[in-house]
Structure 1
Amino acid sequence: MSDEPVPARPIIDLKSFTPARVALGRSGASLPTRPLLDFTLAHARARDAVHAAFDAPRLVAEVRALGLAATEVRSRAADRGDYLRRPDLGRQLDAASAATLEGIAAAPCQLAIVIGDGLSAAAVHAHAARLLQSLLPRLAEEEAVAIGHVVVASGARVALGDEIGAIIGARMIVMLIGERPGLSAPDSLGAYLTFAPKPGLTDAQRNCVSNIHKAGLSYDEAALKIAWLVREGLARQATGVALKDESADRAPRRIGTAVPE
């Protein structure tokens, strides 16, 4: 082995490995103008993502173009201000939407998809339909899992899927929702999976596949993980802390023959 010291890599190299704000430089006691303007722009994009209007009819049309029926609903949050000030209202359907879902509920289904605006409508507009397009073939593989319902929800928090799933009788819900915008990703989509959804569940009873966007998890990677978790969750009859994502290591067990752990 050589006794020569390994040359230190300059911190500037870190910029090629992370979107985090590192090695920004200094101008006196402050930041240089360019990094400061970049930060201001990123902050503005994050704020815009939170306050952007949600085009639910557009999502409904995109879902129907994939050959799936879609129903539009909304939470009890009357507007964006209500949604941001009162998270509890985003977890409950308004009366008209609950009645609409009760009207379409028929036989229980294995899986329902809920698409909600969450904290970034921009993420849902950019990624939800494309992710669903990648997910459908994964669900149609051996021992296919059929999607019984697709619901597009305005003013939605993650837990809104619990009430939706309970009304339509879904064994499992996959909630596609805009995540809280960050300064490097204002359009990140998350997918939350919940077995036996019903009001009152906690996040400990869900699995999450997050960071789905152009510079994050690709649609194909996310679809593989979601489909694996759906099948494994249905087989184990559990999601959340009882279900670890091992999609990279093994195939899911058969839904109809596995014994819950």
Structure 2
Amino acid sequence: MSDRNKPPVIDNPWRALRQYTDARIGLGRAGISLPTSEMLEFQLAHARARDAVHFPLDVDRLLEELAALESPQLSAVAPLRLHSQADDRATYLQRPDLGRELSPASSEKLAEPDLATDGYDLALVVVDGLSSSAVLANAVPFLSAFLQDLGQERDDWRLAPLTVVEQGRVAIGDAVGAALKARVVAVLIGERPGLSSPDSLGLYLTWNPRPGLNDADRNCVSNVRPAGLPVEQASQRLLYLLREAFRLKLSGVGLKDRTEEVVVDASSDNRNFLTH
């Protein structure tokens, strides 16, 4: 075939594997460069990832959706709006330490008399993190599935009021959990967006939350999104970790996620969703 009759884009045989992954493989080439279509797709993905980091979370909408959740275990107190010590997005990105601490006003809000109790079993904390789109798309669907699974597992869980934290990092859940006297805190947070996953939600569970803990004290369930880990499976994993945390009185490196070693038993009389 003469050069004049050659196609402008040379396909890559690895391209067939793209049906199994979102990774950028088998892109082909045009001369010594990427095909124009692949370059444009890369630029679009990069723009979506940047938007996920910088676009502000629609907190009012999220609070309305959280308030509409139905579960007998939910607190009668309306979801609370909190803020970290990072005043704005630029500060949040440059000062991760400020994103781990509650603002004075938020600390005072959690100390109000109507929240004073002997403590809770679980505090659920929704944090914008590094992807507001992940939170808006996945937090409420996940919580809907999780609250249903939680009620089937046990009907006497004491849940703290739901909280939404702006400009927060994972560790801010420790401050919220400690203020509410929760035995366990579960943080739902927008994960750092990748070029194929700008909408990934992360779940971080910590036993006995308190300031000063680090990532070794937490368990993580990541990539919760329609194209990743479905909310139903993520809910079952978090509930398994929650049960094990209460059994072992710990979380983190000492608590192993063994959900792949167990099976769902839908016919169980005690309605436990996991059984060996």
| TM-score, scaled relative to structure 2 | 0.85
Aligned ranges 1:63-102 → 2 under 5 Å: 63-67=66-70, 68=74, 69-102=78-111
Aligned to 1:110: 121
- Alignment counterpart, residue 28 of structure 1, candidates 15, 26, 31: 31
Aligned to 1:3: none
Q: Is it true that 1:46 corresponds to 2:49 in the alignment?
A: yes
Q: CA deviation at 1:27?
A: 1.2
Give me the whole-angstrom Cα distance separating, in 2, the residues matched to 1:194 and 1:52.
28
Give the AA of the match of 1:42. A
Q: Is it true that 1:130 corresponds to 2:133 in the alignment?
A: no
Give me the whole-angstrom Cα distance separating, in 2, the residues matched to 1:190 and 1:142.
22
Does the aligned pair in 1 maintain the 2:160–2:180 contact within 8 Å?
A: no
163-172 or 143-152: bigger deviation:
143-152
- Alignment counterpart, residue 147 of structure 1, candidates 159, 172, 176: 159
Q: CA deviation at 1:238?
A: 0.7
Does the aligned pair in 2 maintain the 1:139–1:146 contact within 8 Å?
A: no
Q: CA deviation at 1:235?
A: 1.3
Deviations 1:207-256 (A, max 9, x none): 000001110000100011011111111111111101111123348xxxxx
Give me the whole-angstrom Cα distance separating, in 2, the residues matched to 1:29 and 1:13.
21
Give the AA of the match of 2:247. A
Does the aligned pair in 2 maintain the 1:105–1:169 contact within 8 Å?
A: no
Aligned ranges 1:191-210 → 2 under 5 Å: 191-210=203-222
Q: CA deviation at 1:57?
A: 1.9
Give me the whole-angstrom Cα distance separating, in 1, the residues matched to 2:85 and 2:92.
9
Deviations 1:135-190 (A, max 9, x none): 00111124343322211100010000001111110000000000000000101000
Give me the whole-angstrom Cα distance separating, in 1, the residues matched to 2:244 and 2:120.
16
Aligned to 1:4: none
- Alignment counterpart, residue 196 of structure 2, candidates 170, 173, 184: 184
Give me the whole-angstrom Cα distance separating, in 1, the residues matched to 2:167 and 2:49.
18
Aligned to 2:274: none
Aligned to 1:254: none
Does the aligned pair in 2 maintain the 1:24–1:35 contact within 8 Å?
A: yes
Aligned to 2:239: 227
Does the aligned pair in 2 maintain the 1:105–1:167 contact within 8 Å?
A: no
Which blocks of at least 5 consecutive residues in structure 2 are unaligned?
A: 1-11, 264-276
| TM-score, scaled relative to structure 1 | 0.90
Give me the whole-angstrom Cα distance separating, in 1, the residues matched to 2:31 and 2:116.
65
Give the AA of the match of 1:135. F
Task: Name the count of aligned residue pairs.
Answer: 243
Give me the whole-angstrom Cα distance separating, in 1, the residues matched to 2:121 and 2:90.
35
Report the RMSD for the aligned CA atoms in angstroms. Answer: 1.4
Deviations 1:82-126 (A, max 9, x none): 100110110000000000001123220000000000000110011
SS of the aligned residue for 2:22 comes to coil
SS of the aligned residue for 2:168 comes to coil
Give me the whole-angstrom Cα distance separating, in 1, the residues matched to 2:252 and 2:204.
10
121-130 or 53-62: bigger deviation:
53-62
Percent identity over the alignment? 48
Aligned to 2:273: none
Q: CA deviation at 1:193?
A: 0.3
Give me the whole-angstrom Cα distance separating, in 1, the residues matched to 2:246 and 2:28.
51
Which blocks of at least 5 consecutive residues in structure 1 are unaligned?
A: 1-8, 252-261
SS of the aligned residue for 2:253 comes to helix
